[in-house]
Amino acid sequence: MIIEYLEEKRRQQRLERQAKTAKNFALGTLVGALAGVLFAPKSGEELRKDIADKSKEVAENTKDQALEMADELSAKAYDAEVAVRETYDDLKLRAALKAEEMKDQSEIAKAKAKAIGEIVREEGQVVGKELGEVKDSLEESGKKVKAEVKDQAQETADQVKESGQEISEALKDGKDKAEKQANKKSK
């Protein structure tokens, strides 16, 4: 579980670096296009046409990058969801196996208790007490496993939801910036 948490943190950091790289690329493209257009010796009409063309090109590039990033983030969110489900299923299976193992141990203990009870009644009472403790321990272990599975599932769901919101906000910011830049260029 700790390993999965650390892997998720690494994935988030990688996504942040990719978003920053995409933002820097878009900004560099815009600055380069503007510099190229402004320093080119052309007439006013040609310059305005070039600025409009470059603005459209930058907007399209930014839109394409935002869509690519959205697709990538969506895929990563899906992968995280799959990992959460697999972790949940794994924990559920482990709990079932542990319960089955404890059940088998309980049945063995009951058989021993019966045999001992037939031989020595007093010893049977002691074994009965031990069985009660095993039962309590099983119930407590089952509750702990259930609570842990529930907590892990909720924590992972919260992380996936938070990542989705951050992705949504980043895409909205990218879109807003691209629209602002496009509006600036068209003015």
Say how far apart CA 143 and CA 99 lie, in whole Å. 11
Cβ atoms within 10 Å, residue 179: 13
Q: What is the pLDDT of residue 164?
A: 84
Query: Is the torsion defined by CA of 72, 73, 77, 78 positive or negative?
Result: negative
Q: Is the model's pLDDT at 127 over the cut of 70?
A: no
Return the structure tokens found at 20. 């920053």
Say how far apart CA 174 and CA 92 lie, in whole Å. 40
Closest CA to 82 of 171, 178, 156: 156
Q: Is the model's pLDDT at 38 over the cut of 70?
A: no
pTM of the model: 0.33
Residues 22 and 65 sit within 8 Å (Cβ to Cβ)? yes
Q: CA dihedral in degrees (43, 45, 47, 52; nearest 10)? A: -170
Residues 95 and 178 sit within 8 Å (Cβ to Cβ)? no
Q: Is the model's pLDDT at 30 over the cut of 80?
A: no
Residues 131 and 109 sit within 8 Å (Cβ to Cβ)? yes
Q: What is the pLDDT of residue 149?
A: 83
Q: Answer with the residue of higher pLDDT: 23 or 139.
A: 139
pLDDT tens for 105-119 read 989 988 887 877 677
Between 90-99, 131-140, 173-182, the lowest mean confidence (pLDDT) is in 173-182
Q: Answer with the residue of higher pLDDT: 159 or 22.
A: 159
